[in-house]
Amino acid sequence: MTIRNIGPAAIPSLGLGTFRMDAGEAREITKAALAEGYRHIDTAQAYENEAEVGEGIRAADTPRDRIFLTTKILPRDFAAADFRKATEASLRALGTDHIDLLLLHWPSRDIPLSETLPVLDALIDEGKVRFGGVSNFTTAMLAEAQGIMRAPIATNQVEMHPFIDQTRLRSFMQDAGIPLTAYAPLAQGRVMQDDTMAAIAEAHDTTAAAIAVAWLLSKPGMIALPKTAKASRLAGNLRAAEIVLTADEIARIDALAGPDGRIVAPETLAPDWDD
């Protein structure tokens, strides 16, 4: 399989998302994913399954130094002292001495980046975190973050799938050299219900989910985090990295994006999006 390493943090381009997984699911699917060949596992404090993800990692045969582990901290803990405490809490929950990638999960409306990002830099200097990044940031927020943080911004993790138009954000990030990590790459199941995706999947003798992941991976600087709680689907998602879409197929999928494509926009957290 062809899993590329993306950006300054060399993030594996295909990982396992664990959003909305309960304790038992997160533990077992993490272990199964690592056995299948995944090397990138994504969780967050908000998912309330860090401990179970950590258990899955320790139960696997994969050495910790071959696993790229991402977690995220919510804005309620962006004050300097709170951010450090929250990071220590994640380290304890995950049962690890370092986090490969630590993200600011959503932008804060109250605490400036100038307070939070220097702490992230310090945590990187101390070896508790290898790389830092952000999630759900707009172009303006990314520009501000780049002006504050000493370490490179390893990624901006955002909603990305065939039905959302992220052209402006993607263009800015590509010019800035910031990889985009796509969450909700299957649009929470919508890709499996779309006729265009189904037709392209049939042409490749695969699933619409695999086509969505292959489409994402065809884009430069793109990382995909498909989620599944079923071990039987892990191999198929991994094989998506081997699917080569034609220029026409990519264009047909690109054309699915529309103004109503965004799914994730919690009222208390979402910024004024670029689109």
| Active-site annotation holder among 47, 83, 106, 183 | 47
- C-alpha 129/C-alpha 96 separation (Å) is 11
- Read off the tokens for 29: 């699917």
Catalytic status, residue 47: yes
Q: Residues 2, 240: contact at Cβ < 8 Å?
A: no
**Across 95-228, where does the E strand assignment appear?**
99-104, 129-135, 153-159, 180-183, 222-224
Q: Residues 137, 271: contact at Cβ < 8 Å?
A: yes
Q: Residues 101, 94: contact at Cβ < 8 Å?
A: no
Is residue 186 classed exposed, middle or buried when 0-12, 13-18 and 19+ CB atoms within 10 A define those classes? buried
Helix (H) or strand (E) segment spanning residue 188: none
Active site members: 47
